[in-house]
Amino acid sequence: MGNAASMEKFKAGLRGELLQPGSPGYDTARKVYNAMIDRRPALIARCKDVADVIASVRFAGETGMLTAVRGGGHNAGGLGICDDGLVIDLSSMNGVRVDPWAKTIRVEGGCTWGGVDHASHAFGLATPAGILSTTGVGGLTLGGGLGHLTRKCGLTIDNLLAADMVLADGRFVTASAEQNPDLFWAVRGGGGNFGIVTSFLFRGHPVHTVLAGPTLWELEHAPEVLQRYRDFINTAPEEINGFFLFLSVPPGPPFPEPLHNRKMCGIVWCYAGPPDRFEETFRPVRRFPQPAFDMIGPMPYPALQSMFDGLYPPGQQWYWKADFIKELGDEAIRLHVEHGSKLPTPQSTMHLYPVNGAARRVEGNATAWSYRDATWAEVIVGVDPDPSNNERMTRWANAYWNALHPHSAGGAYVNFMMHDEGQERVKATYRGNYERLAKVKAMYDPENFFRVNQNIQPAGKKSSRSAA
Ligand SMILES: Cc1cc2nc3c(=O)[nH]c(=O)nc-3n(C[C@H](O)[C@H](O)[C@H](O)COP(=O)(O)OP(=O)(O)OC[C@H]3O[C@@H](n4cnc5c(N)ncnc54)[C@H](O)[C@@H]3O)c2cc1C
C-alpha cells in the first residue's frame, strides 16, 4: 500500500468514505453476494462520483495496488472484491435518469437492476436485464446480459448506446458507436477489462405489463417437456421468452402445499407482446404435458424482475458451472434429467436461458460477445445457506457439468463462470473475438491494471500482470 501521507491525501480528496480493516462498516462493505467469497481488501473506496473514481484509479496506479471494481457485488466468483488491494466500490453511484422523449435510460455504474426497473417503469419503459433485481447493472451488462427480454429485445449489451468510462490511466472517455468505437465493441461482452463504467446509456423499450410466471411439471414429464421446449423456443415468436429449470418447489405461497419441497421441472415465461396474441403464441405450450402448477398471468414487468429475489437473498453459498449449448439432443436430455433430479439442496437449480430471437440476429463479431450461434446458456448452480453443504453441492455441480460438457458448444457465458476457471476457458468463451479483445486491451489497459475479472491479456505483452 502507498505510504501513510499519500493515503491521507487520497482520503482527504474523496467525497466518499475510505475504509480499511478496523474501520466502522469495513466488514459489511467487504461482503459480497456469495458468502463463499471471504476477501479482505486493504482499502475500500466508496466512491460518490466520477471524481472519486478517477482519484481512486490514480492512487492505485501510483501505489501499484491490485484493484477490484465493485458494481452490484453479485458475481459468483467474487470478482467485485480482492484480498489486500484496493476495492473501488461504486455502490453509492446508483442514480437513474429516464428520458421519456428519447426513450433512453441513463444509469450510474453501481446501480442494481431493481433501481433501473423502478425508475423506467414509471415511464412505461424497460431495458433487458437479468432475472433478479438485486444483480448489478455493471457486471451484468459488461458480460452480456441474459434475461426475460432476451428474445424480444436482445442481450443487455444490444441495448447499450454509450458508456462513460474511467480508463487505467485515469482518463475519462465515452465509448459509443461514434466515440472510441473499438472500446465500445470491447465493453459489449468483454467484462470489466477495459475500464470503469461510471454511467451506461440504454435504449428503453415500451414494456409495461407482461404475461409471465412459472409453469411446473412433475419430474416424470421432464424428458417430454425438455423435448417440446427445445422444439418450441428456438423458433417461437420473439415476444415470448422462457427459461427452463430444475427446482425444489419453495415451501410457501403461491405454490400449493402438496407441491412444497418437491423436485420438479419448470419454465419461467415472459410474454411481452400484444395481450390478444398471447393465446395463439402460447398454443404449442398448451400441448406440452399437463402441468402440475401454472401461474402465468399479467403482472407489471418489475414484479417479474423481483419475483425470485426472496428465494435468493444475499449471503448464501454459491457454486456455478456453465456452458453454451447449441443443440439439446435426446442423450443430453436424458443426462439433464438424471442429474437435475438429484438437486443437492433446496435452492440448487439448473437453468437454460435462450440465446435466440433478437439476440441471435446480431452478428457474432459485431460485439465482443461471440456465442450468438448458441441456443442456450446453461448454468448449474449449487446454493445453500450452510457452508457444511458446500462439498456436496460442488460435487453435484461438477458431476452434472462433466456429464453435459461433451454435449456443449465449448465456452461459457462469462457471467456464469467462477473466478478460477483459467485462461483457456476465457479464450474458449470469446473464440474468434479474443484476439481483437487482446488488441483493444493493449490500447486501453496495456499494464493489465483491470485484472480482477475474466481476464483478457493485453496483446503483445510478454510478461503482463496475470489475472488475480
Ligand atoms: C443470483 C444471481 C442471478 C443472476 N442472474 C443473471 C441473469 O439473469 N442474467 C445474467 O446475465 N446474469 C445473471 N447473473 C450473473 C451476473 O450477471 C454476474 O454475476 C455479474 O458479474 C454481476 O454484476 P455485479 O455488478 O453485481 O457484480 P460485481 O461482483 O460487482 O462485479 C463483477 C465484475 O464486473 C466488474 N464491474 C462491475 N461493475 C462495473 C463497472 N461499473 N465498470 C467496470 N467493471 C465493473 C467487476 O470489476 C467484476 O469484474 C446472476 C448472478 C447471480 C448471483
What would the pLDDT profile of 153-210 be if each residue is shown by its tens digit? 999 999 999 999 999 999 999 999 999 999 999 999 999 999 999 999 999 999 999 9
Do residues 305 and 114 lie in contact, with contact meaning Cβ atoms separated by under 8 Å? yes
pLDDT of the residue at 4 = 86
Mutate to test the pocket of ligand 1, among 56, 70, 75 (most ligand atoms within 8 A of CB): 75
On the question of pLDDT at 1 being above 90, the answer is: no
| Beta-carbon contacts of residue 150 (< 8 Å; ≥ 6 apart) | 128, 241, 353, 354, 355, 357, 358, 359
CB atoms within 10 A of CB 220: 12
Q: 337 alpha carbon to ligand 1 midpoint, in Å? A: 29
- % of the chain residues with pLDDT over 70: 98
Average pLDDT of the residues in 364-392: 97
Tell me which residue has its CA closest to atom 53 in ligand 1.
74
Mean pLDDT, the chain, rounded, equals 96
Angstrom CA distances, 308 to 31, 99, 112, 250, 354, stand at 21, 29, 15, 11, 18
pTM summary value: 0.97
Nearest-atom number in ligand 1 for the CA of 312 is: 1
Of the pLDDT bands very low, low, confident and very high (cuts 50, 70, 90), residue 467 is: low
Q: Alpha carbon 364 to chain centroid distance?
A: 19
What would the pLDDT profile of 425-445 be if each residue is shown by its tens digit? 999 999 999 999 999 999 999
Average pLDDT of the residues in 83-91: 98
pLDDT of the residue at 463 = 47
What would the pLDDT profile of 253-267 be if each residue is shown by its tens digit? 999 999 999 999 999
Mutate to test the pocket of ligand 1, among 92, 108, 117, 140 (most ligand atoms within 8 A of CB): 140
pLDDT of the residue at 200 = 98
Average pLDDT of the residues in 352-365: 96
On the question of pLDDT at 237 being above 70, the answer is: yes
Nearest-atom number in ligand 1 for the CA of 69 is: 47
pLDDT of the residue at 466 = 58
Average pLDDT of the residues in 215-239: 97
Nearest-atom number in ligand 1 for the CA of 136 is: 26
| Beta-carbon contacts of residue 378 (< 8 Å; ≥ 6 apart) | 322, 323, 324, 325, 350, 351, 352, 353, 404, 408
Nearest-atom number in ligand 1 for the CA of 137 is: 25
**Domains in the chain, ordered, with CATH?**
4-89 (3.30.43.10), 96-203 (3.30.465.10), 209-416 (3.40.462.20)
All three cell numbers of 409: 458448444
pLDDT of the residue at 3 = 76
pLDDT of the residue at 133 = 97
On the question of pLDDT at 468 being above 90, the answer is: no
Q: 73 alpha carbon to ligand 1 midpoint, in Å? A: 7
Tell me which residue has its CA closest to atom 16 in ligand 1.
140
